[in-house]
Amino acid sequence: MTEQKIIALVDGSIYSESVCHHAAWIAGRTAAPVELIHVLGRREAPEKPDLSGAIRLGARSELLEQLAEIDAQRARLTGQRGRAILEDARAIVDRDGVTAITTRLRQGDIVETIGEIEGDARVIVIGKRGEAADFARGHLGSNLERIVRAAHRPVFVAARSFQPIDSVLIAFDGGASAQKAVDHVARSRFFAGLPVTLVTVGPETPEARKGLSDAAAVLAAGGIEADTRILPGQPDEELGRLVEAEGFGMLVMGAYGHSRIRSLMIGSTTTEMMRSCKVPVLLLR
């Protein structure tokens, strides 16, 4: 069986350094190798516009040759930039003490790339926003939302800056993806020895108490004695307040809420938490 990797997606954004540090930190706790991937999107592929218009044949041929050379030069520069990004990323992960590092430069759609390579992934690490982060402060990266919707592996969303994770908050609503998140925490070496708090936000009902108790039992079976809480309020507001007030280092949650109605978009609470949360978020669908 192929050893499971930590797949870290890097680009030219301000989040990429954090992605590298987080990938290295996960590797240090799990002994998994790191694969750094940079994807050249289709919009970065060489274009072949016909700007010649209705001009005489000889001049048109010469212009087409010049355009072809510009396309080729642009493709070379784009590839060189991608390789430079990967070299810088490798250096960061190497300085953090990881020895098993590979790099891969791919071209095409990033979600299709993830679909092709995630089979041997332990986790996919990505920044909250991409290269346009400074121009879209109120929005998530479009690739992030697409990857979360499509990926079958856990997606670790790195915050803008890296801090070693010293405590974990698990948001639990009883839904299938939340149960999967609890099971993942119970089984993964990543969480060994970290203080874990399991919280349900909403009315305190017998069903909510039982769900929380069952989830805590799953964690206990994995060697994790979690603190449990039921808090009133709205999940996105209360979870954000709790992370901020008590200094949790990471939030773990299902990518979808507990609802019979599912859309193509990720859950609204999940989306809001990724927008506002200043710590890493691990998502499972």
When pLDDT is averaged across residues 234-249 and rounded to a whole number, the result is 88
Question: Do residues 169 and 248 touch, judged by C-beta distance below 8 A?
Answer: yes
Q: What is the pLDDT of residues 62-88, one digit of tens each?
A: 777 777 778 777 778 888 899 999 999
Residue 37 — φ and ψ, nearest 5°?
Answer: -130, 130
Per-residue model confidence (pLDDT) at position 261: 31
Mean pLDDT (whole number) for 269-275? 65
- pLDDT tens, 90-101? 999 999 999 999
Give the per-residue pLDDT at 154: 93
3-state secondary structure 47-91: CCCCCCCCCCHHHHHHHHHHHHHHHHHHHHHHHHHHHHHHHHHHH
Helix (H) or strand (E) holding 269: helix 268-276
What was the pLDDT predicted at 26?
Answer: 96
Query: For residue 262, what pLDDT is reported?
Result: 37
What does CATH list as the number for 163-285? 3.40.50.620
Contact 254, 178 (CB under 8 A): yes
CB of 60 within 8 A of CB of 52? Answer: yes
Cβ-proximal residues to 45 (8 Å cutoff; 6+ apart), any chain: 75, 107
Helix pair 176-187, 206-221: axis angle to 10 deg: 30
Q: How far apart are CA 66 and CA 31, in angstroms?
A: 51
**What confidence tens digit (pLDDT) does each residue in 170-213 have?**
999 888 888 999 999 999 989 999 999 999 988 999 999 999 99
132 CB neighbour count, 10 Å cutoff: 11
Residue 6: predicted pLDDT: 97
Look up the pTM and report it.
Answer: 0.82
Q: Which percentage of the chain shows pLDDT scores above 70?
A: 80
Cα–Cα distance measured from residue 148 to residue 157, given in angstroms and rounded to the nearest whole number: 10
Helix H or strand E encompassing 200: strand 196-201
User: Which of 131-135, 225-229, 241-245 has the least mean pLDDT?
Assistant: 131-135
Lowest pLDDT segment from 149-153, 242-246, 257-261: 257-261
- Region 144-152 average pLDDT: 82
| Superfamily name and number for 1-161 | HUPs (3.40.50.620)
Q: What is the pLDDT of residue 155?
A: 93
Domains 1-161 and 163-285 share a fold: yes
Q: Do residues 159 and 277 make contact, with C-beta atoms less than 8 angstroms apart?
A: yes
Q: Does residue 46 carry a pLDDT above 60?
A: no
Q: Which of 26-40, 50-64, 254-268 has the highest mean pLDDT?
A: 26-40
Q: Strands 155-158, 281-284: parallel, antiparallel or unpaired by DSSP?
A: antiparallel
Give me 213's structure tokens. 């108790």
DSSP letter at 131 equals: T
- 3-class SS of residue 227: strand
For residue 237, the model assigns a pLDDT of: 81
Sign of CA dihedral 260, 270, 187, 225: negative
First and final C-alpha spacing in the chain: 24
Highest mean pLDDT among 110-114, 121-125, 272-276: 121-125
The pLDDT of residue 209: 94
pLDDT band per the 50, 70, 90 thresholds, residue 233: confident
Every domain of the chain and the residues it spans: 1-161, 163-285
